[in-house]
Amino acid sequence: MRNIYCSFFGHEFKITKHVTHYVKEFKCTQCNKQFTTDQSGNITALTPKHREINAVLEKIHHKKQKKKNLQLIP
């Protein structure tokens, strides 16, 4: 169903997940539709494919973060 508010004012994004510094998942507080940042930095609908990519990105990102933290220890 099309949300009238969203078609007039656009979606009202709320960040639901920080995947990496650049990729985030969003949810519209008006129509509950889910979105994500794509490779070009645009906000696009969150498809199962995107969810998969984000899960991989998140894993890689967390691994990197761990490495970084270890390097900070003298």
Over its C-alpha atoms, the chain yields an Rg (Å, rounded) of: 15
Query: Mask: binding to Zn ion, 31-50, rule CB under 5 A, as x and -?
Result: x-------------------
Query: Using CB under 5 A, which of 28, 53, 57, 58 touches Zn ion?
Result: 28
From residue 3 to residue 22, what is the string marking binding to Zn ion with x (rule CB under 5 A)?
Answer: ---x----x-----------
57 contacts Zn ion (rule: CB under 5 A)? no
Render 10-39 in DSSP notation, one character per residue.
---EEEEEE-SSS-EEEEETTT--EEEE-T
Task: Indicate the residue among 6 and 53 with the shorter CB distance to Zn ion.
Answer: 6
Residue 74's H or E segment, with its range, is none
Binding site for Zn ion (CB under 5 A): 6, 11, 28, 30-31
